[in-house]
Chain A
Amino acid sequence: MSSKPPYDMIGLDHLVIRCKDQDTMARFYCDVIGGTVDRHNEPFGLLQIRVGAHLVDLITVDGKLGTRGGAAPGKEARNLDHFAIQITPFDDESLRAHLAAHNVTIVESGDRYGAEGTGPSIYFLDPEDNIVELKGPSDGVRATA
């Protein structure tokens, strides 16, 4: 057995969220978060939203892809705690005003360690209670485990 994978990792490409109301979720990820619709594969119930260099895919739980995952997610027993999107700039005051204008509830905020070091973060819920983190530019200082 070779001890090292036959590839290098570049980074994340996309993540796929299971949802009940795809239209409401899509409006949130576009209007509030600022994503754009990349592709819509209706037969598969797959709507791909571009968030900068990457994608957040929304699949309907009753669609061709979504039914493989069983029942719709509830408040508990989730496999994804949250996910984070890098944004720039991070202006706390205008961010809060923007989220408030869309009636989004902020659940937490503060400096957090992410992929590019420590930087400001704000956490809130999407319409189906997934926790989304918007992460501002970080200091570039890597943790040493």
Chain B
Amino acid sequence: MSERPFAMKGLDHVVIRCTDVQAMLHFYQDVLGCTLEDIDKGLGLYQVRAGSHLIDLVPIDEPMGASGGPAPGRDGHNMDHFAIQVEPYDDNAIRAFLSGHGVELGSTIIRGGAEGEGPAIYIKDPEGNTVELKGPPDPAYN
């Protein structure tokens, strides 16, 4: 079999299927701090930037989202969670900020990510997707 004709650089974007795109846009921009990148009304594709990468939202009642069938529920989803690297990671400040926005907070734990072990907090977006905010690797754990 032939050699693989490419090398991988890393992730580019994730595309999340959603029901209420306005509530999701509010959360990802006003709470998490993403910026609006582009909206393609014809496709039903709403893109926000998270640092170097994109988080795309596709409402299930618009063309792109409709291809995946009914709305995701608590059962049967294919993505457990995704993680965004944030810097600095000040647990108290992050918790206070997110609590102020009424975000459901999980525990803070030390987790291995793409760059090593570091602090992470797990939260829920408005439609129940788990989002991990991941701090820089901590030398104490690596």
Q: Measuring CB to CB, which residues of chain A are less than 8 angstroms from any residue of chain B? A: 1-2, 4-18, 33-35, 39, 48, 50-55, 57, 59, 65-66, 68-91, 94-95, 97-98, 101-102, 113-116, 128, 130, 133-135, 142-145
- B6 touches which one: A53, A68, A72, A88 (CB < 8 A)? A88
For the complex, give the distance between the alpha carbons of A86 and B112 in Å. 22
Measured between beta carbons, the chain B residues less than 8 angstroms from A113 are: 38, 47
Q: Measuring CB to CB, which residues of chain B are less than 8 angstroms from any residue of chain A? A: 1-2, 4-17, 31-34, 36-39, 47, 49-54, 56, 58, 64-65, 68-90, 93-94, 96-97, 100-101, 112-115, 127, 129, 132-134
Q: Is the CB of A81 within 8 A of B6?
A: no
- A77 touches which one: B69, B89, B112, B129 (CB < 8 A)? B69
Q: Is the CB of B78 within 8 A of A18?
A: yes
Q: Is the CB of B82 within 8 A of A143?
A: no
Q: Is the CB of B10 within 8 A of A54?
A: yes
For the complex, give the distance between the alpha carbons of A78 and B128 in Å. 12
